[in-house]
Amino acid sequence: QVQLVESGGGLVQAGDSLRLSCAASGGTFSRYALGWFRQAPGKDREFVASISWNTFYTYYADSVKGRFTISRDNAKSTVYLQMNSLKPEDTAVYYCAVDTGLNGKYEYWGQGTEVTVSS
């Protein structure tokens, strides 16, 4: 079992920055691909960013490309999402997730952290 705990969310103004953190326990963190997803009120969950187990590859949704950066610190078993130039449409609950590479999907999820961006 892998447990994930997100933190760093909050209420900010448009144009501000936040860094979300997701601390993992259990499993072999360094061999997992990691992703960030978000779900706005009344909307479906959407992909935000991901990073491969070896950090060679990162992927971003078009809506956040150039503003958000995903990174990982395997020594701390933590994945980060640096969010710059935040917009009101970034308001959502943000979740981190783990893809172990065994089941072809993200199979472990955190509880989420709320990000609210005011205009």
pLDDT digits (tens, 9 = 90+) for 101-114: 888 899 999 999 99
Q: Which two tokens stand for residue 87?
A: 């917009």
pLDDT at 1: 84
pLDDT digits (tens, 9 = 90+) for 10-20: 999 999 999 99
Residue 4's DSSP bridge partners are: 24
pLDDT digits (tens, 9 = 90+) for 14-70: 999 999 999 999 888 888 999 999 999 999 999 999 999 887 899 999 999 999 999
pLDDT digits (tens, 9 = 90+) for 78-87: 999 999 999 9
